[in-house]
Each structure stands twice: as C-alpha cells, then as structure tokens.
C-alpha cells in the first residue's frame, strides 16, 4: 500500500507592528532640558491599523521622521494633515488654564482641546502627539485607541480624557 505524502502547510506570518500608549523616553529628557513650551499648540498624526504597521510605536519613539508609510492615508487626510504630503498633522491646542496643578494634589496636569481630522475616510489604531515647534519634531507621546476607530467621509475626533491627577493625558506626579 502506498500512502500519499502529507502536504505541509506553510503559514505567512506577517510581522505587524504594535502601538503601546507611552510617554516618549526622549520627551522626558527633553522636558528636563527645557525643549518644550506648552504655551504653544502641538500636533497629532494618525497611525494605521496595527496589522498594517511596519514597526512598533511606544516609549522608544523619539521623532516623527520614522513614521513614513505607517501614517493613515486618504485624499482629504493627505491634503490637510499627512506628514508624507508635507503637512503637520492636526493641531492640538492647549486647553485654557493649562498646564496646572490638579485640585487638591501635587500633580501637574496638561489638557488639550479635542482634535478633529475633518472629512476623512480612515481607520486608525492610534496616534502620535508631537511638538512641531521644535526642529526635531519630537514625539511627546504615543497613544493606542485600544482597537480600530474609523471614519467614513466624516470627522475623526480624538477626545482627550478629562483633566485630573489620575486622568489627564499628560501628568507629572
């Protein structure tokens, strides 16, 4: 009796990137050197869905020059926001009265007004907040949305959490 050979299945392992919410290690150092002025607005760019990323984004992300093809793409996004098209992302303006010390604590907190990417069709798993006022376009923080968020020919809005000693998007205890 001749047994047929078993065909070996091959799998294509796509080495997708990840997005991990974290303050940039370089931001912490730059903060102590006085490189950031939070009286100015910052910028936000959107990252693709994790399965489409080519690299990881986390505390080691230092500047936006490495993002490249990992930024979302759409005609309206590219025309207005995309770094790849020579734009600067969406403006993240500092909320009125910030930075400040959270009430009843010793924690310094920061708040930004919500950021809206207007009339875009995109799917994103996270974003990068960065300082476009400095020549290095230094990353302040990377944020994971905890899953894919999308917009179809509409506004994609990032709502920053309520400011507080344990809730602010940026805080120093």
DSSP classification of residue 57: B
Res 1: pLDDT: 37
Whether 160 shows a pLDDT value over 60: the answer reads yes
Tell me how far CA of residue 61 lies from CA of 20, 22, 86, in angstroms.
10, 9, 20
* % pLDDT > 90, the chain: 78
- Find the mean pLDDT for residues 33-59: 93
What whole-number distance in Å separates Cα of residue 41 and Cα of residue 98?
A: 12
Q: How confident is the model at residue 135 (pLDDT cuts 50, 70, 90)?
A: low
Q: Give the predicted TM-score (pTM) of the model.
A: 0.88
- Quickly tell me which residue has 């693709």 as its tokens: 48
Whether 15 shows a pLDDT value over 80: the answer reads no
- Write down the mean pLDDT value for the chain: 89
Whether 5 shows a pLDDT value over 70: the answer reads no
Tokens of 31: 């903060």
């Amino acid at each position: 009796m001749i047994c047929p050979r078993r065909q070996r299945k091959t799998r294509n392992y796509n080495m997708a990137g990840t997005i991990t919410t974290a303050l940039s290690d370089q931001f912490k150092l730059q903060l102590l050197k006085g490189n950031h002025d939070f009286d100015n607005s910052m910028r936000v760019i959107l990252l693709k869905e994790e399965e489409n990323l080519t690299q990881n984004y986390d505390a080691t992300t230092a500047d936006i020059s490495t993002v490249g093809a990992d930024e979302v793409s759409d005609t309206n996004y590219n025309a207005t926001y995309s770094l790849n098209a020579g734009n600067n992302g969406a403006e993240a303006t500092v909320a009125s009265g910030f930075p400040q010390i959270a009430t009843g604590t010793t924690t310094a907190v920061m708040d930004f007004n919500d950021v809206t990417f207007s009339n875009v069709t995109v799917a994103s798993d996270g974003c990068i907040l960065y300082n476009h006022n400095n020549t290095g376009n230094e990353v302040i923080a990377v944020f994971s949305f905890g899953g894919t968020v999308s917009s179809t020919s509409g506004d994609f809005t990032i709502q920053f959490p309520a400011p507080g000693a344990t809730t602010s998007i940026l805080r120093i205890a």
